[in-house]
Structure 1
Amino acid sequence: MSDQDPQPQYPKYPGEGGETFSAGQPPAEYPSATQPEPERPQSIRTAVRLMQVGAGLSALGTIVSIATIGSLKDSIEDSLRDSDPNVSQSTVDAAYSVAIVAGVIGGIIAVLLWLWMAWKNGQGRSWARVVATVFGGLNLLSTLFSLASPQADGFTISFSLINLVLAGAILVFLWRKESSAYYDSVSQRR
């Protein structure tokens, strides 16, 4: 009998035969907690930073919209009076209040979506890249609608175009070859 007993051998998967490995030593193809996380490539780091900039721009856009809300009240009143000349002031005020609340909630949601996408894409979640791509497409449609709107002012058009360019740059960085390799390596590790 030898001084050291051999390590017990276990099947590769529970209940299966086939290749075995020694206790305490999983095969190399299994990720372990001791393996380091794949390093984020520069393209992912840049995309994440640009998403954070997008969150800041959305917050700024919401603040500017609230600051210039006075012209919105006039626009709402004109629109309501065009459709019904006998509209009451309380209806105008209610519509104005709804517009303010909807704008603030929409702005908060936009900021949170930008930050969520930055966080999940930074973690290398493949689904987040797909969701960011869908959001980029929706951003394109939103920009086209805002450009076609007769009520679009210079700020709205400029803001929409900046947002569109930002979204396009982010998508380019997310779909670069080194980004795809990062998403693949994170997926394989899980």
Structure 2
Amino acid sequence: MTSEQYQPYPNPQHYEPFGAGQSYPVEPTSGGATPPRTVTYAFYLMLSGAALSGIDLLYGLTELSYVRATAMAKHSGKGTLSDSQIDTIVTVSFVVGCVVTLISVGLWIWMAFANRAGRNWARITATVFFGMYTVDTLATVTVGDGTAISTAITVLTWLVGLAVVILLWIKQSGTHFQPAPEYTPYSADTYSAGPQDF
């Protein structure tokens, strides 16, 4: 046997465990890469809610002259407010309503993408927003100041929000909002077993 063919056994004192020196990155992500169908349905419903809010805004703009005329007929001549004051109040109310509606559209879109990404805080936040919108819807329906079309849009938007909350909290959606398990990086320093331990 030649020296080239001779292969000595490895020195047991230099034993190195498999994978020593390698580290496995920790990626604490939430949910899976592909959301379940229930979350996908909720995502598209939230985008629909944003569209309904935009439609409500456009419809409200067409009703500006009607609301102004109604306010004039209701308060003009009573001495409490002048016509210019009534006109100012109506205009300011519409501007504030437009800003609030635009914020609502942005919140719908934000919640849609955050929930699709598996953010559990987004699911909780969306539920809180739905509770606030429920109070606003009850006030709108109870007072009845809006037109039939605006009231119908409000109720339809509420129903969309209800469906979204149900889809986000049913069992099929739960795993998408649970954080993935974190694995400790493996290295030779964490492995203390050696031949002397046996």
Alignment of 1:31-180 (within 5 A): 31=27, 37-78=32-73, 80-81=75-76, 85-180=79-174
Per the normalisation by structure 2, the TM-score is 0.75
Q: CA RMSD in A?
A: 3.0
- Deviation of 1:167 after TM superposition, in Å, equals 0.8
Percent of aligned positions that are identical = 24
Post-superposition Cα deviations, 1:10-38, rounded to whole Å, max 9, x if no partner, equal: xxxxxxxxxxx7333328xx4379xx953
CA contact (8 A) 2:59 2:150 kept: no
Amino acid at match of 2:129: F
- Deviation of 1:143 after TM superposition, in Å, equals 1.4
Unaligned runs of 5+ in 2: 1-8, 183-198
Unaligned runs of 5+ in 1: 10-20
- Deviation of 1:151 after TM superposition, in Å, equals 1.7
CA contact (8 A) 1:76 1:95 kept: no
CA contact (8 A) 2:119 2:177 kept: yes
**Structure 1 partner of 2:21:** 23
Amino acid at match of 2:92: V
SS in 2 for 1:144: helix
- Deviation of 1:7 after TM superposition, in Å, equals 6.1
Per the normalisation by structure 1, the TM-score is 0.77
Tell me: CA distance 1:118–1:109, structure 2 relative to 1, closer, same or farther (3 Å). same
Counting matched residue pairs gives 172
Post-superposition Cα deviations, 1:131-182, rounded to whole Å, max 9, x if no partner, equal: 1111111122111111111423211221122112111111111011121111
SS in 1 for 2:146: coil
- Deviation of 1:86 after TM superposition, in Å, equals 5.0
Q: Which structure has the larger Rg over C-alpha atoms?
A: 2
Tell me: CA distance 1:77–1:41, structure 2 relative to 1, closer, same or farther (3 Å). same
Amino acid at match of 2:174: S
Amino acid at match of 2:118: G
Q: Higher RCO, 1 or 2 (CA under 8 Å, sep at least 6)?
A: 2
Amino acid at match of 1:85: G
Amino acid at match of 1:44: V
